[in-house]
Amino acid sequence: MFDSLSSKLEKAFKTLKGQGKISEINVAETVKEIRKALIDADVNYKIAKQFTDTIRDKAIGQNVLTSVSPGQLMVKIVNDELTELLGGQTVDMNTAGNPAVILMAGLQGSGKTTHSAKLASYIKKKGKTVMMAACDVYRPAAIEQLKVLGAQIDVPVFFEEGNKSPVKIAENALKAAREQGISVLIVDTAGRLSIDEQMMEEIGNIKKALNPKEILFVVDSMTGQDAVNTAKAFNDVLDFSGVILTKLDGDTRGGAALSIKSIVNKPIKFVGTGEKMEALDVFHPDRMAQRILGMGDIVSLVERAQGVFDEEEANRIQKKLLKDQFTFQDFLQQIQQIKKMGNLKDLMAMIPGVGKAIKDLDISDDAFKGIEAIIHSMTPQERNNPDLINGSRRKRIANGSGTDIQQVNQLLKQFEEMRKMMRTMSKFQGTGRAMPKLPFMK
Ligand SMILES: Nc1nc2c(ncn2[C@@H]2O[C@H](COP(=O)(O)OP(=O)(O)OP(=O)(O)O)[C@@H](O)[C@H]2O)c(=O)[nH]1
Ligand SMILES: [Mg+2]
């Protein structure tokens, strides 16, 4: 995410590294680099200029501070200003109402339908009842798409197959949701290739009919500055309450994320980072700024883990580990939960310092494939008692999983080492003695 922007900013700070103090000359140089980085990221020129002017003034104004190095001071100033540029505060979604209505709007293919479902799943996890309404009557498969997603996350979908009026469908959905005591109704609407009057009128009418508390403008972050023009047009008609920035998992430069708040003065509330239902994050300007500056985002990583792992399961696993009863079956379940957290490279990039290091590495989600195949080829008895797995069984497992015997041996060895380590740890638990040297410590 924003890799190129991150590395260009890092380069800009380098100008100041090793400098004893901030001067107008070295600040000017750094600021020029920052401005270039932003423009390369497809940030509007005016916004980039205003941003860097502020940075320059602050840097020179804070010259008196001698306790930190110029490089660190600059990173701090840029971090603060980036946070502001991204919106400053985290803004919550409004789900009050009877039911609360969330209207999704945006261009074709921006991710409205996918994010209707992600949002539904997110709200459902918070313990509220949700319904989705299929108001895209134009694209032939649109209703079916929402129904499939609804089934996947177990959320009801309101639709009227023959009805060609999105406004009527929306009204009927609201009625149905109210009758059924649903707390949140998410209304998925049709997109167009570009802004057109008829479309704007239609979505405007849906707004009038439903009076939604939350209107979310869904925008593909790959579109950069163009996204901002679209946002403006939608905002003029809808006065929307927030933005969902989608496809941040792609090769986005960051322009849309960094420009939107300045142009429409509406907060980004969520970001989409993949096609899976779990790939939705609440947007926190401060954390995003830190991420852009290569400081990682460990808080979001933990939150993602909390969303996927349930506590009971974690306790069960921990007990099993300590009692030396951890099996390949448990291992398989753990892998499956990690995979639910999202794209592996994205996850690793959230760890401070790791993003930069793995930037050019090809880390695919297939990383677990071999391991999973091997475990799948084991019988239930073997999974529960790896000691059973002798030479001939290893051969069978290798054949069955399309791997070779070395890979099977390696996995068994790693698994055994992990168990050994756990045994040692549990022995020392509560004895007050220092931890012994573990096998992987050199
Ligand atoms: N990688 C990635 N793909 C996404 C994301 N959000 C949506 N997509 C994909 O983008 C495509 C379009 O998404 P939709 O949700 O159908 O978009 P839409 O705005 O409803 O499209 P229309 O209804 O045709 O206007 C689908 O293939 C989605 O799987 C995301 O955050 N990351
Ligand atoms: Mg759609």
Using 50, 70 and 90 to split pLDDT, how confident is the model at 430?
Answer: very low
Please tell me the distance from the alpha carbon of residue 242 to that of residue 114, in angstroms, as a whole number: 17
What domains does the chain contain, in order, with CATH numbers? Answer: 3-85 (1.20.120.140), 100-295 (3.40.50.300), 305-428 (1.10.260.30)
Q: If you measure from the C-alpha of residue 180 to the centroid of ligand 2, how many angstroms do you get, rounded to a whole number? A: 25
Amino acid 21: pLDDT: 67
Residues whose CB falls within 8 Å of the CB of residue 395, separated by 6 or more in sequence, listed in order: 405
Average pLDDT in the 277-290 region? 91
Please check whether residue 192 is in contact with residue 138, taking contact to mean a CB–CB distance below 8 angstroms.
no
The label of the residue with tokens 């991150």 reads 6
Q: If you measure from the C-alpha of residue 111 to the centroid of ligand 1, how many angstroms do you get, rounded to a whole number? A: 3
Q: If you measure from the C-alpha of residue 280 to the centroid of ligand 2, how many angstroms do you get, rounded to a whole number? A: 17
Please tell me the distance from the alpha carbon of residue 149 to that of residue 284, in angstroms, as a whole number: 27
Helices (H), ranges, 62-165: 70-85, 112-125, 142-153
> Any idea which ligand is nearest the CA of 191?
1
Atom number of ligand 1 nearest to Cα 116: 15
- More confident: 424 or 208: 208
Render pLDDT for 43-85 as a digit per residue (tens, 0 to 9).
Answer: 888 899 999 999 998 888 775 445 466 777 788 889 999 999 9
Average pLDDT, the chain: 85
Q: Is 69 helix (H, G, I), strand (E, B) or coil?
A: coil
pLDDT at 299 over 80: no
Using 50, 70 and 90 to split pLDDT, how confident is the model at 334?
Answer: confident
Amino acid 97: pLDDT: 85
CB-ligand 1 contact for 273 (6 Å cutoff): yes
Q: If you measure from the C-alpha of residue 108 to the centroid of ligand 1, how many angstroms do you get, rounded to a whole number? A: 9
The sign of the CA dihedral 58, 83, 258, 11 is positive
pLDDT at 312 over 60: yes
Please check whether residue 334 is in contact with residue 368, taking contact to mean a CB–CB distance below 8 angstroms.
no
CB-ligand 1 contact for 26 (6 Å cutoff): no
Angle (CA) 73-78-83 rounded to 5° is 130
Average pLDDT in the 286-312 region? 76
pLDDT at 338 over 50: yes
Amino acid 437: pLDDT: 44
Distance of CA 342 to the CA centre of its chain: 8
Residues whose CB falls within 8 Å of the CB of residue 49, separated by 6 or more in sequence, listed in order: 35
- More confident: 202 or 318: 202
Average pLDDT in the 244-263 region? 86
> Any idea which ligand is nearest the CA of 194?
1
Q: If you measure from the C-alpha of residue 160 to the centroid of ligand 1, how many angstroms do you get, rounded to a whole number? A: 22
Amino acid 82: pLDDT: 92
pLDDT at 99 over 60: yes
pTM value is 0.75
Percent pLDDT > 90 in the chain is 43
- CB count within 10 Å of CB 211 equals 10
pLDDT at 432 over 70: no
Least confident of 78-87, 348-357, 416-425: 348-357
Please check whether residue 30 is in contact with residue 16, taking contact to mean a CB–CB distance below 8 angstroms.
yes
Please check whether residue 419 is in contact with residue 326, taking contact to mean a CB–CB distance below 8 angstroms.
yes
Pairing state of beta strands 268-272 and 280-282?
antiparallel
Render pLDDT for 178-237 as a digit per residue (tens, 0 to 9).
Answer: 999 999 999 999 987 767 888 889 999 999 999 999 999 999 988 877 888 889 989 999
CB-ligand 1 contact for 246 (6 Å cutoff): yes
